[in-house]
Amino acid sequence: MNIKVVVFALVMTASMGVQGAWLTGGQLLEDCESENYFEKGSCMGYIEGVGDSVATLANWEDFAEYICTPQGVTSGQLMLVVVKNLNENPEELHMTASSLVLNALSEAFPCE
């Protein structure tokens, strides 16, 4: 696993409450694919939170070239990218959701 992913995951989990730190990819995927608007909104909010954290960390030298989200990308698009990645990698669903979101976004929007 990339050291940047490990550091980012530690930063994310350190800033969350205990329950948030234990959200798995499987739980996130369940919320994202739910018909319940609250659960789907929870999914989108979680992904937006990770995305916002990445944007903030982009000012740090170590993260400056990790994820380059194009201007105009919507929250809905970010959610679709993450859901696609979660569905394509079911063997990883036990991992923390924050690291899986970060991995999905870095694969979809690499810096060149």
Report pLDDT digits (tens) over 51-104: 777 766 666 655 556 778 888 988 889 999 999 999 999 999 998 888 888 889
Q: Show the domain range for 56.
A: 3-9+29-108
The reply to whether 36 falls in a domain is yes
Is pTM, for the whole model, over 0.85?
no
**83 belongs to a structural domain:** yes
Task: Judge whether 57 lies within some domain.
Answer: yes
Domain-embedded: residue 81: yes
Q: How many domains does the chain have?
A: 1
Q: What is the DSSP string of 85-107?
A: HHHH-GGGTTSBHHHHHHHHHHH
Q: Look at residue 35 and tell me if it is in a domain.
A: yes
For residue 54, tell me if it sits in a domain: yes
Q: Are 89 and 14 in contact (CB under 8 A)?
A: no
Residue 15 lies in a domain: no
Tokens of 41: 């909104």
Contact 27, 75 (CB under 8 A): no
